[in-house]
Structure 1
Amino acid sequence: MQLDDTAVLISIDVQQGFDLRPFGPRNNPDMEAHALALLAAWRTARRPVVVVRHDSVHPDSPLAPGTPGNALKRGFEPQPGEPLVTKHVNSAFIGTDLESRLRAAGVRQVVLFGISTDMCVSTTARMAANLGFDLVVVGDACYTWRQPTPDGALLDGETIHRAHLTTLNSEFGRVVRTAQVIEALSPLAHAAVGPGTA
């Protein structure tokens, strides 16, 4: 894959509340490890990061402001100079200054990861594409959990995760893996390994 020189990495709702209440069995237990590796490589390349946090308006939510669950997971806090965008609904573009920030910076491409694949990541991703941004979703740096279907059955998290990534990749942008993004961040190192040198 190729990264645009304006690309911004957006971390979505990687918050402690998802571990503090039983949301059901989740998929992708390696999500946090992938996401931390992605953040480290992105920051090492001195590219911009935006951190999004969900401040729930429901007082009994594990993500409500003032509760332990509202805090970002360790390692996912914004570093100096990185903006924190707080939202109250699924999309990070609704009721926030995210779009205006991106427009002001001349951003053409957004790279998203976070929690959960099918809700806040998917909603933000679809809106980003509809707003005209070149969309990249890092699929192995997202997760979701088992949920009941309308007819009372249970759908496992991996199936939901894969279904949403499939439709995002089919219609809205590209779904990639963490390793692909990290490789794209190091074009000079990659180019140095020419034919016969590997």
Structure 2
Amino acid sequence: MHTIELAAALLTIDMQQGIQRLPTPRNNPQAERHIAQLQQHWRARGWPLVHIRHISVDADSVFAPGQSGAAFQPELAPQASEAVFEKNVTDAFCHSALERWLHVRGIAKVVIVGVASENSVEATARTASNLGFATVVVTDACYTFGKTDFAGVLRSADDVHNMAMANLRDEYAQLHCTAELLSGD
């Protein structure tokens, strides 16, 4: 059983409408449901929620500003009282005020969910840890897509996700599933 302290912020990364348009097979088809459960859990306890939105500098991106892909998925959208930070690189801490926002509120722990496991989730988790935040990644509340590796071998979304989690495990983050966090109070 894992207990989340009052000072833990839930960081929801890049859960925007554009990510739903990507045709590549993905893993964790229940990730959005788990993210919604975690958001509800945090809101019921008055714990801090932070939403990260990717705003691309590439006009052809599904995350380009001013088009529907940049908008949050309605079921995972922030409430008016919740913090929103925008990024245009993979790392939610880079070129944003996220670190300062957390420090000002005395938040020493972050719980990360969202997309993509080996991209923005992994980059943000590594930086959070390197900045001294206790870091948790919820393995079944993030997902990714199949990808061709450096050697030209197509890797499944599960393979890519599992390697990202292996990269983070213990050195950068604790890994937990949604059920563990929801039962940990």
TM-score by length of 2: 0.96
| 1:124 alignment counterpart | 124
Letter in 1 for 2:171: E
Q: CA deviation at 1:5?
A: 2.3
Q: Encode CA deviations 1:121-147: one digit per residue, 9 max, x unaligned.
A: 000000000000000111100000001
> How much has 1:4 moved relative to structure 2?
2.2
Larger radius of gyration: 1
> Does the CA-based 8 Å contact 1:42-1:182 persist in structure 2?
no
**CA distance, structure 2, for counterparts of residue 170 and residue 134 of structure 1:** 11
Aligned counterpart, 1:2: 3
TM alignment of 1:11-160, pairs within 5 A: 11-22=12-23, 24-160=24-160
Task: Return the alpha-carbon distance in structure 1 between the equivalents of residues 60 and 22 of structure 2.
Answer: 11
- Counterpart CA distance in 2 for 1:72 and 1:50 is 13
Aligned residues: 184
- Code of the residue aligned with 2:13 in structure 1: it is I
Residue identity in the other structure for 2:91: S
Residues 13-52 of structure 1: CA deviation (Å, up to 9, x unaligned): 0011111232x11011111111111111111111110100
Letter in 1 for 2:136: V
TM-score, structure 1 as length reference? 0.90
Q: CA RMSD in A?
A: 1.0
> In structure 1, what is the equivalent of residue 183 of structure 2?
183
Structure 1 unaligned residues grouped into runs of 5+: 188-198
Residue 166 of structure 1 and its aligned partner are, at CA, apart by 1.8
1:159-174, aligned counterparts within 5 Å?
A: 159-174=159-174
Deviates more, 1:164-173 or 1:32-41: 164-173
Taking the aligned partners of 1:114 and 1:179, their CA distance within structure 2 comes to 16
Three-state SS of the structure 2 residue aligned to 1:91 is coil
SS where residue 141 of structure 2 aligns?
strand
Percent identity of equivalent pairs: 38
